[in-house]
Amino acid sequence: MVAALLLTACGGDDGDAVLPFVSSTHEPAIGARPTPPSTGVTNADRRRIATKGDSVLVHYRGRLDDGSEFDSSIGREPLSFVVDSGQMIPGFNDAVHGMVLGEKITVRLEASEAYGERSEANYIDVPLANVPEGTKVGQQLFSAAGSTTVLAIEGDVVTLDGNHELAGQALTFEIELVDIR
């Protein structure tokens, strides 16, 4: 899956293709992962691969297609999650699954691999009396059901958008696997 994501990031369109990685000293077998750059991780550590059920720590930087950064762990504690547990967006999880400790990769996720496509099915109309006084169009409202954005206020009806703010967008992540527990 990571190879398919990387292929997509490189502009290819064959999701079943395997990328050959080229080293300056030798050419590894087709489908081999490159040796991660030196990060203080020992060669013994580099043999550790993130697999289902592993608790991992990653540093990441997320960018939109226009190059703007929407989130980053740089300068903060690394992000912690359990591989294949459903805690992460599918494409991010799939990119980390199979990474070698110390490895750094860049992947581009289509909306379907991230927060999904925007959908009017996630719009809901609620009575004006059910939202805080002074609510304005564009405002974010938070409840036990999650975050919504106020799309419209017409008379006594408020239309809320329950889509994630990044829904419908491709996301590019630079990911570094810093620990496997």
Domain of 104: which CATH number? 3.10.50.40
Q: What is the CA radius of gyration of the chain?
A: 20
DSSP string for residues in 61-99: EEEETTS-EEEE-TTSPPEEEETTSS-S-HHHHHHHTTP
Residue range 19-50, pLDDT digits in tens: 332 222 333 333 444 444 445 555 565 579 99
Shared-domain flag, residues 73 and 127: no
Q: What pLDDT does 74 receive? A: 96
Shared-domain flag, residues 33 and 86: yes
Copy the structure tokens of residue 12: 């290819």
| Residue predicted with more confidence, 93 or 2 | 93
Per the structure, the count of domains in the chain is 2
- Check pLDDT > 50 for residue 97: yes
Q: What percent of the chain has pLDDT over 90?
A: 72
CB 128 within 8 A of CB 156: yes
- Residue 16: beta bridge partners? none
Residue range 107-138, pLDDT digits in tens: 999 999 999 999 999 999 999 999 999 999 99
DSSP 3-state of 4 = helix
Q: What pLDDT does 143 receive? A: 85
Shared-domain flag, residues 25 and 98: yes
Residue range 4-18, pLDDT digits in tens: 333 333 333 333 333
Contacts of 1 (CB under 8 A, 6+ apart): 94, 95, 97, 98
Shared-domain flag, residues 96 and 52: yes
Task: Give the count of beta carbons closer than 10 Å to the beta carbon of residue 44.
Answer: 8
Q: What pLDDT does 41 receive? A: 57
- Residue 138: beta bridge partners? none
Q: What pLDDT does 1 receive? A: 35
Shared-domain flag, residues 83 and 170: yes
Shared-domain flag, residues 77 and 145: no
CB 148 within 8 A of CB 160: yes
Q: What pLDDT does 47 receive? A: 77
Tell me how far apart the alpha carbons of residues 7 and 3 are, in angstroms, rounded to a whole number. Answer: 6
Measured between its terminal Cα atoms, the distance across the chain in Å is 23
Shared-domain flag, residues 50 and 108: yes
Shared-domain flag, residues 61 and 8: yes
Domain that holds residue 126: 120-161
Shared-domain flag, residues 136 and 170: no
| pLDDT average, residue stretch 154-170 | 96
Q: 32 to each of 14, 40, 48, 105, how far by Cα in Å?
A: 18, 22, 15, 14
Query: What is the residue-averaged pLDDT of the chain?
Result: 82
By CB atoms closer than 10 A (0-12, 13-18, 19+), residue 122 is: middle
Shared-domain flag, residues 81 and 145: no
